[in-house]
Chains A and B, each alone.
Chain A
């Protein structure tokens, strides 16, 4: 463990930290405003050193970049860090870059470039990972989703409900982590559905872990899935939803 964090601002600002040391420093950075301020100033300083190297790029580059840009979709913007209650119940949190997220999950956070957004994403993933571990259900499928290079974290919170979904479109899988769900009568259970034009497909019934937390569910998403929905169903689950979803998360 490194107890010398403040002196790492310089190394961090010039990407001279790697692996665990970097991850630990980033964790520290999330709680140290002074350090974050210094990192930003030293990055601005380093940027001046970089700009001092200015050189004319090859002539064709501009055209190629502009061509790529015209054919490249932009990432959705990151949302404000936190909002009070009463906001729309389901929304995508910001996406971090593939590298930042994959690395964050692996515990080697790369964040930084994207400031608060990346750190939030990092923390959310870490929390999601911890909850999966706590629930004792860290299957290979879930690990695969968490480590997917297109992993996205969807957080949904409404009145009395909160859940996180970690999804990889490439793998066609999603991990559902119920955080706060109203209790259901004894003869009913929560069932998770993948919903799309072709209808609802069951992803499974939510089981309660011994800790009282809801067990995470991992499921395969049919290709036309546009949303996940959670309904209360008779014990054992239903072939098709028999009630309106108490929670719906658009993918």
Chain B
């Protein structure tokens, strides 16, 4: 492995450690590897949780729970089933969504939120993603979606609504939102070249 070339284009000096390899090491009980993994995943996890949970104190608490859960359950991670980042973010998203669903009944949330909230979360994305190329990609790709596709994706992913709740906010039949959501994600997948 001594002759491994640095990854082109990262421009970060020494190549940053590979999350996959780290997560596998974490699964073997390596706390040092967890520290390194923490430095990679803490910001994305916290950012996503904050977006969904909103309350600052709760976001911190949920983030802590998630990061410890990553440690606890890393033993189950199978690299052949997906990337470490996907594994961590899926876990984080579920925990954050579980938290908001248990805190608030759907009806409560529906009275507060209008479909405008979809636009709002998109704007928030736009503001905070300008800094990095990766984030600009996401923004650019979100723009390629139809309005209903984009709103379906944003309301479910960033707000933690079920697709049926999203449908009611969007005044559309659930079956329509269900398919737009999938179409939107597929379009994003292709635009972001996920998996290629």
Contact = CB atoms under 8 A, between A and B. Distances in A.
B31 interface: yes
Interface string A1-18: 000100111110111111
Interface stretch (A59-67, A128-136, A138-146, A174-182): A59-67
Interface stretch (B1-9, B10-18, B112-120, B185-193): B185-193
B23 interface: no
B181 A77 contact: no
A46 B158 CA distance: 10
B194 A45 contact: yes
Interface stretch (A82-90, A111-119, A207-215, A231-239): A111-119
Contacts of B195: 41, 44
A110 B97 CA distance: 12
Contact of B64 (A9, A64, A94, A110): A64
Contact of B125 (A53, A56, A57): A53
A51 B182 contact: no
Contacts of B83: 44, 47
Interface of A: 4, 7-11, 13-18, 40-58, 61-62, 64-66, 68-70, 72-78, 94, 97, 99, 110, 112-117
Contacts of B75: 74-78
Contacts of A66: 31, 34-35, 38
B107 interface: no
Given A16-B181, A42-B185, A47-B90, A53 B192 contact: no
Contact of B47 (A55, A61, A68, A99): A55
A36 to B, nearest CB: 9
Contacts of A50: 44, 47-48, 89, 92-93, 157
A113 B184 CA distance: 22
B73 interface: yes
Contacts of A13: 185
Contacts of B69: 97
Contacts of A48: 134, 137-138, 188, 192, 194
* Top-6 shortest CB links A-B: A10-B182, A47-B89, A53-B47, A55-B47, A57-B46, A50-B48
A10 B76 contact: no
Interface residues of B, number: 74
Interface of B: 27, 29, 31, 34-35, 38, 42-44, 46-48, 50-51, 60, 63-64, 67-69, 71-76, 78, 81-83, 85-94, 97-98, 101, 125, 128-129, 134-135, 137-139, 153, 156-158, 160-163, 166, 175, 178-179, 181-186, 188-189, 192, 194-195
Given A50-B157, A57-B60, A68-B68, 6 more contacts: A11-B178, A16-B163, A46-B157, A46-B185, A55-B128, A112-B94
Contacts of B50: 53, 55
Contact of A51 (B97, B134, B156, B163): B134
Nearest to B175: A4
B73 A45 contact: no
6 contacts: A10-B184, A15-B156, A42-B182, A44-B195, A50-B89, A72-B71
B129 A52 contact: yes
A48 B44 CA distance: 9
A75 B35 CA distance: 18
A97 B73 CA distance: 8
A56 B192 contact: no
Nearest to B128: A53
Contacts of B101: 18
Given A47-B85, A56-B43, A70-B31, A112 B90 contact: yes
Given A44-B82, A52-B129, A65-B38, A94 B76 contact: yes
Contacts of A52: 125, 128-129, 134-135, 138-139
A55 B43 contact: yes
